[in-house]
Amino acid sequence: MLDSATTQVIGPIPTRSPGRRRARGSGVLISGLLALILIGTALFAVAPLRRPLPAPAVTRAVPASMTIPGKAPVVPWPETGQAALMVEGVGSLGRSGGSKPVPIASVTKVMTAYVILTEHPLKRGEHGPKLTVSKERAAAYPAEQSRSESLVPVVAGAVFTERQALQAVMLPSANNMARILAEWDAGSIEAFVEKMNDTAAALGMTNTHYTDPAGYDPGTVSTADDQVLLARRAMKLPAFAEIVAQKQATLPIAGVVRNYNSLVGQDGVVGIKTGSTDEAGGCLVFAAVVKVGGRKVTVVGAVLGQPGANTPVQLARVFRVTRPLVRTAAAAVRVHPVVRAGDQVALVQGPLGAVTTLNATEDLNVVGWPGLRVRLDVDVPEVPARLPAETEHGRIKAVAGGVVSAAVPLRSGVELAAPSTWERIRRHR
């Protein structure tokens, strides 16, 4: 029995309303959905930012090549024989007379001197080692003289420096000194001739064959094109270029000797070598220096097979047909602008539509003549997403005759701006 003093009245136990439970459940669900939507939106917005932007695309706005406008020069080629004409670092002005190998007489000595100087280099003004005339070479002199060969007097035991020997070969065209040099270098004429032919093959002189170091033997044959190729290489040797430009020199025993090439010193002519025999006719490999636009340009050419009854007539003929070639080349070569300062060279398109240009900073000038084909090479490194205005980036080069004749930098136009975060999100919706 319960004590009435401690008895408590206990009412009914309250319960949760079913409606409230449902309301709270719905709120949680809605909150979850909103969270998912917000997360999805964020992920959708962030996704484009995770993708790297492609590099700006560069499109060239100039042609791959162009021809200098105007009337091409008319070259006064000789009526007979072969001829070829080249402007160093620019290109060929052409050739005439075909490409059949023909005797070249003492023009052979260009290869003789080239081999000697590549085997025994000399600096400008340097005399180099000494060589002594052997008894055998001295004894051969009377027989050589009886054949009316071009010679310098020698005696057994005479001493020549390398430079003096080369002067004897290249100025008065001494056949005997060419043979002396050959034996000095290779031990025998036959071994030296082998060197000459190996060198010709290495230089790409495919229509040339040497049988002696002097050119007296008509079996030594070549073409005007091949001789121009050799002359261009030989003129890069300082001592060679120095010697062939001399009008005279003083040698042991002989005293003062003169250059057979009477064109030296006229019309900018600085060499190179004459040649004449009954089989070869009058021959000349020549070089001339002309000034164009503040720079010196070398014209190299060859004329072979000019007729005549004897050496004086043959050489007079070859000089007469060479002068117009030199003067025509000198008159034809000028400075020509192929791209002007400010010209658009390339268009740069950013990944989201931003655009700028790359323009030449100055005139791109080439030395050449009307009708000459010039290649235009555009070199643009990868462009960053942001490229400020007036920023140097890349360059354009003009290539004539396989040689880069000029190059100028490129500069950006308006700023190429990197896209903002909002632009990246908006463009990828």
Other Cβ atoms within 10 Å of 426 Cβ, number: 13
pLDDT digits (tens, 9 = 90+) for 314-331: 999 999 999 999 999 999
Mean pLDDT of the region 399-422: 84
Flag whether 273 is marked binding: yes
Is residue 139 scored above 90 in pLDDT?
yes
Check whether 404 has a pLDDT greater than 90: no
- Site of tokens 């065209």: 173
Backbone angles phi, psi at 295, to 5 degrees: -125, 160
Q: What is the mean pLDDT of residues 349-355?
A: 83
Is 249:164 a contact under the CB 8 Å cutoff?
yes
Given a cut of 90, whether residue 33 has pLDDT beyond it is: no
Report whether 244 contacts 270 (CB < 8 A): yes
Of 312, 329, 307, the closest CA to residue 81 belongs to 307
Q: What is the mean pLDDT of residues 1-13?
A: 41
Render pLDDT for 164-179 as a digit per residue (tens, 0 to 9): 999 999 999 999 999 9
- Is residue 316 within 8 Å of residue 307, measured between CB atoms? no
The residue with greater pLDDT, 187 or 30, is 187
DSSP output for 54-69:
PPPEEEE-S-SEEE--
Q: Where are the beta strands (DSSP E) in 125-187?
A: 130-132, 159-161
Question: How confident is the model at residue 385, as a pLDDT?
Answer: 85
- As a whole number of angstroms, the distance between CA 171 and CA 125 comes to 16
Give residue 253's pLDDT band: very low, low, confident or very high (50, 70, 90): very high
Q: Which two tokens stand for residue 87?
A: 């402007």
Q: What percent of the chain has pLDDT over 70?
A: 85
Task: Using alpha carbons, select from 70, 45, 41, 127 the residue that is nearest to residue 371.
Answer: 70
Q: Say how far apart CA 412 and CA 389 lie, in whole Å.
A: 6
Percent of the chain clearing pLDDT 90 (strictly above): 79
Q: 314-320: long-range contacts at Cβ-Cβ below 8 A with a sequence spacing of 24 or more?
A: 314/276, 314/281, 314/282, 315/260, 315/262, 315/274, 315/276, 315/282, 315/284, 316/282, 317/281, 317/282, 318/274, 318/276, 318/281, 318/282, 318/283, 318/284, 319/262, 319/263, 319/284
Residue range 387-408: average pLDDT?
A: 92
Q: How far apart are CA 197 and CA 205, in angstroms?
A: 9
The neighbouring-strand residues paired with 257 are 249
d(Cα 221, Cα 207) in Å, to the nearest integer?
8
Is the pLDDT score of 190 beyond 70? Answer: yes
Amino acid residing at 411: R
Indicate the average pLDDT of the chain: 89
The residues assigned a catalytic role are: 106, 109, 173
159 backbone dihedrals φ, ψ, rounded to 5°: -115, 130
**pLDDT surpasses 50 at 3:** no
The residues near 238 (Cβ < 8 Å, ≥ 6 apart) are: 122, 123, 124
* pLDDT tens, residue by residue, 90-116: 999 999 999 999 999 999 999 999 999
Residue 365 near residue 383, CB atoms below 8 Å: no
| 393 Cβ contact partners less than 8 Å away, ≥ 6 residues apart | 358, 380, 381, 383, 387, 410, 411, 412
How buried is residue 229: exposed, middle or buried, by Cβ count under 10 Å (0-12/13-18/19+)? Answer: buried
